[in-house]
Chains A and B, each alone.
Chain A
Amino acid sequence: MLLGGGLVVAAGYGVAGLLTSGDLLHGTVVHVELPVLPTYELPTSLVFEVGVLMIVVGLALDVLRTLGGEQEKMNAANLTMALLVGSLFSAGVYLLLSRSLVRVVMGVVLLGHATNLLLLQSGGRAGAPPVSGEAGYEAVADPLPQAMALTAIVITFAVSALLLALAHRSHELNDNEEVPTHSGPDEEDP
């Protein structure tokens, strides 16, 4: 249901843009006046993000539920975790779409967190730390996802550092850290 709803919201947003302005996924910025708080600028693409969020959460829930059904020793899916993974994913993708490299790095970090959480979730039920001699075989959590999450953390860390270095270099060359527009090698002569 969540999956279908998400698809409807995301696709509906795209079609709505098509209908109102003839442009698929057309978006504008809406100003929201809130009491006390300052005025917020909300891009309408937020609706799209919510749709994507619902799809991701729905998918994760679906798979996790299958997991629960397949092996009875594992608990049912943890809804909080699934929601968290989903919101991290959509926030990460949102930041990734920005032109500024620093925001892109933030997006990468969020996406990395989301994936790591998902990896940990894929190990099923929480348990005692998987250290030899600490607890019985049955009580111990699955060690493999933890090892994989560690590897993934190292990789995300290295790539974030590299991207930050690139952002710095870009700042040196262009006075800002945005990805410059295309200045293609094939625009030599008309």
Chain B
Amino acid sequence: MTVDQLLVSLPVAAPLLAAGLSLLLSPSPGAQRVLAITVLTGVLVDGVLLLQRADAHGPVVAQVGGYRVPLGITLVGDRFSALMLVTSTAILLAVLVYAVAQGSSESSVGNVPSVFHPSYLALTAGTALAFLTGDLFNLFVGLEVMLMASYALITLGATRERVRAGSTYIVTSLLSSILLLTAIALVYGVTGTLNLAQLSERTAELPEDVRSWLSVALLVALSIKAAIVPMHWWLPESYPPAPAPITAVFAALLTKVAVYAVIRTQSLLFPRDEPWLLLLALAALTFLVGSIGALAQKNLHGVLSFLLVAHIGFMLLGLGISSAAGIAGSVVYLVHHIVVQAALFLGVGLVERHRGTASLRRLGGLTSTAPLLSVLFLLPALSLGGMPPLAGFVAKLAVLRAAVGADHGLTLGVAGVALLASLATLALVARVWAEASGASPARSCPILIPGTPSSWGRPPAAR
């Protein structure tokens, strides 16, 4: 076994093996924690090495089991997939540490049964497989492994609220998986292969209408998973009831893996020279619906869920421009969005623990009672809004410059909508901050909750 093979196989194989071990270790939660953290650190190191190697020597390829190309499974680590692997593993590791710390420091909040670690490791393996695969069917399997683990995680504890959210989430994901499989069957029926490299050659020879049908079929199937408007309805419904670390991982990773799959399949199998009108229209719709939805929410979870949907639009815009600069912008945005969403949802988890609620109305006085927490929340929020020194600004600038550079009326129009969506995000951040630094709930709504004890938050300091 060469170094190459080891580097691309380990991120998939190690977490799966560890998931099995972790199940065996379930009597001792301590060992489970150590195992999960060790394995995730290992995968992170592996990812960094892979990224370095792919950057220096080009894509790293391994044929699993030694079967030849059309039959066997190919694992490919190029710069895009290695970058996604590193980002996602770093986030997975950070969230795991958060979950462990929360679980050990406060038993009532961290009521995490022993299936948490195995599911989490399986989720890691599925994510890695989805990123590293060089085969369309295997991409489906990777997504499916990841989703299976997420089904277990979202229904942890099986309270009434979680069962409800879980049923919606599972049925929706399942429908999208079946649609994806149907699209894959159609692709195979027409081309006779599922290897992405072979497919990119064979789709070029197809008649124009068949190409468009296949492209749209794949897009529709993946857009449910990626929460692209009008297929986003399940997301704000199903994320909030889960525990904070799980919501953070879902928000940061699951939709983004699907976006990765969209970028990968569309840019590789159906390359376009002209801007893709359908995707640009979807991007504009996503911006509008996400932003307006976020403005209407009364709860931090709801605000963040809708903002998550709105900002998927940036990645669609970058891909829809169909230029190298546009796709590069999408990739930068993808990385930025994973990190920021995880940070924001973890922040909400802390706020909820501090206050017992994530309702916007009850945030008053947070900046004075928990200044550090407020800053921790503000930084990623500003980044999401695109304030200059932060990552969000760089990512937005990259996408918008590509949109302007494409010199096409529609890309310019959608770029305008994107700017509006950014403004809406900033306005929301400002509103949340105003609520948080404003009067304590007892003062701000004395009629609604007359008997609120003053210990909920000090009255604002005179300033």
**What total of chain A residues lie within 8 Å of the partner, measured CB to CB?**
48
Given A158-B148, A170-B163, A186-B299, A111 and B190 contact (CB-CB distance below 8 Å) = no
Interface flag for B361 (CB, 8 Å): yes
Instruction: Please determine whether B189 and A148 come into contact, CB atoms closer than 8 angstroms.
Output: no
Q: How far is the CA of A124 from the CA of B178 in the complex (A)?
A: 20
Q: How far is the CA of A179 from the CA of B448 in the complex (A)?
A: 32
CB distance from A118 to the nearest CB of B (A): 5
Given A152-B181, A162-B151, A67 and B189 contact (CB-CB distance below 8 Å) = yes
Instruction: Please determine whether B240 and A66 come into contact, CB atoms closer than 8 angstroms.
Output: no
B185: which of A101, A122, A170 is its contact (CB, 8 Å)? Answer: A122
Interface flag for B372 (CB, 8 Å): no
CB distance from A108 to the nearest CB of B (A): 6
Interface flag for B371 (CB, 8 Å): no
Q: How far is the CA of A67 from the CA of B186 in the complex (A)?
A: 9
Given A71-B192, A148-B137, A163-B171, A119 and B213 contact (CB-CB distance below 8 Å) = no
A173: which of B148, B160, B171, B213 is its contact (CB, 8 Å)? Answer: B160
CB distance from A83 to the nearest CB of B (A): 16
Interface flag for A59 (CB, 8 Å): yes
Query: Which of A67, A96, A169, A186 has most chain B Cβ within 10 Å?
Result: A186
Q: In the complex, what residue of chain A is closest to B449 when comparing beta carbons?
A: A189
Interface flag for A145 (CB, 8 Å): yes
B175: which of A111, A144, A174 is its contact (CB, 8 Å)? Answer: A111
On chain B, the residues within 8 Å of A63 by CB distance are 186, 189-190, 210, 213
B190: which of A66, A145, A180, A182 is its contact (CB, 8 Å)? Answer: A66
On chain B, the residues within 8 Å of A186 by CB distance are 297-299, 301-302, 359
Interface string of A71-106 (1 = CB under 8 A from B): 100000000000000000000000010000100100
Q: In the complex, what residue of chain A is closest to B359 when comparing beta carbons?
A: A188
Instruction: Please determine whether A159 and B174 come into contact, CB atoms closer than 8 angstroms.
Output: yes
Q: How far is the CA of A70 from the CA of B301 in the complex (A)?
A: 51
Within 8 A of A (CB), among B201-235: 206-207, 210, 213
A118: which of B167, B182, B359 is its contact (CB, 8 Å)? Answer: B182
Q: In the complex, what residue of chain B is closest to A185 when comparing beta carbons?
A: B240
Within 8 A of B (CB), among A50-77: 59-60, 62-64, 66-67, 70-71
Interface flag for B156 (CB, 8 Å): no
Instruction: Please determine whether B213 and A144 come into contact, CB atoms closer than 8 angstroms.
Output: no
What secondary structure prevails in chain B residues at the interface with A? helix
Q: How far is the CA of A188 from the CA of B70 in the complex (A)?
A: 56
Q: In the complex, what residue of chain A is closest to B171 when comparing beta carbons?
A: A104
Interface flag for A6 (CB, 8 Å): no
Interface string of B150-173 (1 = CB under 8 A from A): 010001001011011011101100
Q: How far is the CA of A63 from the CA of B358 in the complex (A)?
A: 50
Interface flag for B241 (CB, 8 Å): yes
On chain A, the residues within 8 Å of B181 by CB distance are 115, 119, 152
Instruction: Please determine whether A144 and B182 come into contact, CB atoms closer than 8 angstroms.
Output: no
Number of chain B interface residues as a range: 35 or more
Q: In the complex, what residue of chain A is closest to B170 when comparing beta carbons?
A: A163
Within 8 A of A (CB), among B183-206: 184-186, 188-190, 192, 194, 206
Q: How far is the CA of A114 from the CA of B299 in the complex (A)?
A: 41
Interface flag for A112 (CB, 8 Å): yes
Instruction: Please determine whether B174 and A122 come into contact, CB atoms closer than 8 angstroms.
Output: no
CB distance from B388 to the nearest CB of A (A): 33
Instruction: Please determine whether B160 and A66 come into contact, CB atoms closer than 8 angstroms.
Output: no
Q: How far is the CA of A159 from the CA of B378 in the complex (A)?
A: 39
Interface flag for B71 (CB, 8 Å): yes
A115: which of B182, B206, B358 is its contact (CB, 8 Å)? Answer: B182
Q: In the complex, what residue of chain A is closest to B182 when comparing beta carbons?
A: A115
Q: How far is the CA of A144 from the CA of B184 in the complex (A)?
A: 12
Q: In the complex, what residue of chain A is closest to B152 when comparing beta carbons?
A: A162
Instruction: Please determine whether A118 and B448 come into contact, CB atoms closer than 8 angstroms.
Output: no
B interface list, Cβ under 8 A from A: 70-71, 137, 141, 144, 148, 151, 155, 158, 160-161, 163-164, 166-168, 170-171, 174-175, 177-178, 181-182, 184-186, 188-190, 192, 194, 206-207, 210, 213, 237, 240-241, 297-299, 301-302, 357-359, 361, 448-449
List, sorted by A's number, 17 A–B pairs whose CB atoms are closer than 8 Å: A63-B186, A63-B213, A66-B210, A112-B178, A115-B178, A119-B188, A123-B189, A144-B188, A152-B181, A158-B148, A159-B170, A169-B158, A173-B163, A185-B241, A185-B358, A186-B301, A190-B448
